[in-house]
């Protein structure tokens, strides 16, 4: 019978395989057929007309790592050091790989190539287009949900959020469709590799401390954060609601760690006596 570690490794490898089979050929097809611009213009010119700009601004916001971290805390890793370790490794890996790829590829944004044909919602961005960092972050959450959640509702919600948030990056005029697919691939693969790496480490107090430090850092930045979407309906309410949620969860996790440290000290003191 396979051990839990072997089963988890197989799941990670399966996620990498299916992410690659779904995303990489589609990216190649968009570039080889020169349909990247055509698909972009159709999505960018139609979707916001049907709904207005605010829903897409909010969905784009949800792909931001500082907005996404509280969701990951609440849905996936609360009071679970092993899952917290996987989240830490995956986030670090995704951040390094996404930003490195952006600066190595250095692709211009749609507004540079298509100019006035682009409908802009939020900030106007011009460079470092591929891959989409927002899409990478939200698909990282979806990948972790697939691997860690075990709850259909959470997995379905995470996947739907990832798809809609990725689509929003085209609607707001920030990314080409190929950028979004590349971001999705980076996010899913980072989630899988993060879990594979975590098998070589013990989820101890150091990891819990690092996780709490990252939580406090992300929460503190979130309170003051402005990414150009704040003026849209509901954006600030969502931001401050997530800030309060993240702060409460971080404080609870800190108290839990403090109790663990205190309980570890008491037997040591009793032994010395």
Per-residue pLDDT of the chain (273 residues; tens, 9 = 90+): 455 668 888 999 999 999 999 999 999 999 888 899 999 999 999 888 888 888 898 888 888 877 777 777 766 777 788 888 898 899 899 999 999 999 999 899 999 989 889 999 988 888 889 999 999 999 999 999 999 887 888 899 999 999 999 999 999 999 999 999 999 999 999 999 999 998 888 877 888 888 888 888 888 888 888 777 778 878 888 888 888 888 888 888 888 888 888 876 655 444 444
Q: Please state, as a whole number, how many other Cβ atoms lie within 10 Å of the Cβ of residue 209.
A: 13
Question: Who contacts 270 (Cβ-Cβ below 8 Å, separation ≥6)?
Answer: none
pTM equals 0.89
Pseudo-torsion of CA 31, 41, 64, 74, nearest 10°?
A: -100
Q: Please check whether residue 270 lies inside any domain of the structure.
A: no
CATH code, domain with 47: 1.20.144
Q: Please state, as a whole number, how many other Cβ atoms lie within 10 Å of the Cβ of residue 183.
A: 32
Is 11 within 8 Å of 149 (Cβ atoms)? Answer: no
Range of the domain at 206: 7-257
Task: Output the DSSP codes for 171-227.
Answer: HTTS--HHHHHHHHHHHHHHHHHHHHHHTTS---HHHHHHHHHHHHHHHHHHHH---
Task: Output the DSSP codes for 85-99.
Answer: HHHHHHHHHHHHHHH
Q: How many domains, the chain?
A: 1
Q: Please check whether residue 72 lies inside any domain of the structure.
A: yes
**220's torsion region: left (phi>0), alpha (psi -120 to 50) or beta?**
alpha
Q: Please check whether residue 49 lies inside any domain of the structure.
A: yes
CA-nearest of 176, 165, 177, 180 to 238 is 165
Q: Please check whether residue 79 lies inside any domain of the structure.
A: yes
- Give Cα 76 to chain centroid, integer Å: 13
Q: Please check whether residue 268 lies inside any domain of the structure.
A: no
Q: Please check whether residue 201 lies inside any domain of the structure.
A: yes
As a whole number of angstroms, the distance between CA 99 and CA 132 comes to 9
Q: Please check whether residue 266 lies inside any domain of the structure.
A: no
Q: Please check whether residue 174 lies inside any domain of the structure.
A: yes
As a whole number of angstroms, the distance between CA 86 and CA 190 comes to 10
Pseudo-torsion of CA 30, 33, 35, 37, nearest 10°?
A: 90
């Amino acid at each position: 019978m396979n051990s839990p570690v072997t089963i988890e490794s197989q799941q990670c490898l399966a996620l990498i395989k299916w992410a690659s089979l779904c995303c990489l050929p589609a990216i190649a097809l968009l570039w080889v057929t020169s349909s990247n611009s055509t698909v972009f213009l159709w999505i960018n010119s139609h979707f916001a007309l049907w709904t207005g700009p605010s829903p897409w601004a909010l969905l784009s916001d949800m792909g931001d790592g500082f907005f996404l971290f509280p969701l990951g805390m609440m849905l996936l890793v609360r009071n679970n050091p092993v899952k917290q370790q996987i989240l830490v490794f995956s986030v670090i890996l995704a951040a390094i790989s996404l930003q490195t790829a952006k600066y190595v590829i250095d692709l211009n944004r749609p507004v540079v190539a298509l100019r006035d044909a682009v409908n802009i919602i939020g900030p106007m961005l011009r460079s470092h287009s591929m891959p989409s960092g927002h899409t990478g972050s939200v698909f990282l959450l979806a990948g972790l949900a697939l691997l860690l959640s075990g709850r259909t509702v959470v997995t379905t919600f995470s996947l739907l959020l990832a798809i809609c948030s990725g689509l929003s990056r085209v609607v707001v005029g920030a990314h080409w469709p190929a950028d979004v697919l590349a971001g999705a691939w980076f996010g899913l693969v980072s989630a899988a590799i993060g879990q594979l790496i975590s098998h070589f480490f013990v989820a101890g107090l150091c990891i819990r401390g690092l996780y709490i430090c990252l939580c406090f850092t992300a929460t503190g930045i979130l309170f003051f954060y402005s990414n150009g979407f704040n003026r849209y309906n509901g954006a600030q309410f969502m931001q401050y609601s997530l800030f309060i949620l993240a702060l409460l969860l971080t404080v609870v996790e800190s108290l839990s760690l403090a109790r663990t440290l205190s309980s570890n000290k008491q037997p040591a003191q009793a032994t010395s006596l």
